[in-house]
Amino acid sequence: MFFLSLNIYSQEYSTLIVDGKAIIKEIPENILVSITLSSKNSDYATCSDNLTKSSNSFQKELAEKGIDPGIIKTRGFNIEEDIEYQNNTRKKIGYEGSISISIESSFSDKTLQTIMETIKKSSYQFTYIVNFVLSESQKQEIINYAVAKSIADAKMKAEIIAKAANIELVRINSIKYSKDYFSYEISSDVISLVDQRTPIHMPMNITIPSSDEMTINQEELAVEKSVIVEWITKSK
């Protein structure tokens, strides 16, 4: 995108506004496993106790199999009424509850295999989602690189436009940039340009295989950075 304004300063000077973009792809270093344990019971206290026992037991099993307890986080605890409708009548059956647990670590087949095997061999009621996410060091490195590349893209476009329009780039007047966002794509192709500018985590559901081995190749993550650069220009 670019815009040439003719109403600035004098007949000699004007402004040129150029949109610079950079799309960087990277394979995420970390794995994030989100697990939800659930329980139902007619009694509130029993439902709550069952959830707590299941969560503690599950986390203990993971730790015994080599998963660092420090990366096992409890993210939420919820209990609500279990309602059924019978003959258009609302009937309270009891209570249903859930505990959300997350595990984030550097990705390895061994770590994922350990978690999946623990889930597969357990008697817990659960659902789970596996995401591949950028590590904190990756985020900062990619953001810095994308910013530099988007500025370079804007500069290249401005130079091409200036040459074609027979004008001179005097100096940069202002630079505006968008928020960072990360888009997880099923396809490894370059992401399409979308309006959303907040983090997007598209979960990858993994079915536990019947065999003892499982290897996952994580998809690339595409990161887009956009800047708007305003140049002061003058006629040649």
Strand-pairing partners, residue 72, are: 103
Among candidates 216, 220, 190, 217, which has minimal Cα distance to 202?
220
Read off the pLDDT band of 198 (50, 70, 90).
Answer: very low
Hey, what CATH topology would domain 33-127 get? Answer: Alpha-Beta Plaits (3.30.70)
Candidate from 26-30, 67-71, 168-172, 189-193 with smallest mean pLDDT: 189-193
d(CA 34, CA 133): 12
Residues 6+ apart with CB under 8 A from 185: 191, 202, 219, 220, 221, 222
> Rounded mean pLDDT of the chain?
79
Dihedral sign, Cα of residue 99, residue 105, residue 111, residue 112: positive
pTM flag (> 0.75): no
Backbone angles phi, psi at 161, to 5 degrees: -65, -45
Span 2-28+136-235 CATH architecture: 2-Layer Sandwich (3.30)
Read off the pLDDT band of 183 (50, 70, 90).
Answer: very low
Per residue in 74-124, pLDDT (tens digit) is 989 999 999 888 888 888 989 999 999 999 999 888 888 898 888 887 777
| 2-28+136-235 against 33-127: fold identical | no
Most confident of 21-30, 99-108, 179-188: 99-108
Within 10 angstroms of residue 164's Cβ, the number of other Cβ atoms is 8
Residues 6+ apart with CB under 8 A from 6: 14
Domains in the chain: boundaries: 2-28+136-235, 33-127
Instruction: Using the predicted structure, report yes or no on whether residue 32 has a pLDDT greater than 80.
Output: yes
CB 206 within 8 A of CB 35: no
Q: Which helix (H) or strand (E) holds 4?
A: strand 2-5
Strands 30-41 and 89-106: antiparallel
Structure tokens given for 142: 């990619």
Dihedral sign, Cα of residue 60, residue 61, residue 63, residue 67: negative
Task: Report pLDDT for 10.
Answer: 53
Q: What CA–CA distances, in Å, run from 187 to 25, 184, 204?
A: 12, 9, 12
Give, to the nearest 10 degrees, the angle between helix 109-120 and helix 44-64. 140
Mean per-residue pLDDT, 19-23 = 91
E-only strand ranges, 27-86? 30-41, 72-86
Read off the pLDDT band of 185 (50, 70, 90).
Answer: very low
Among candidates 9, 8, 20, which has minimal Cα distance to 161?
20
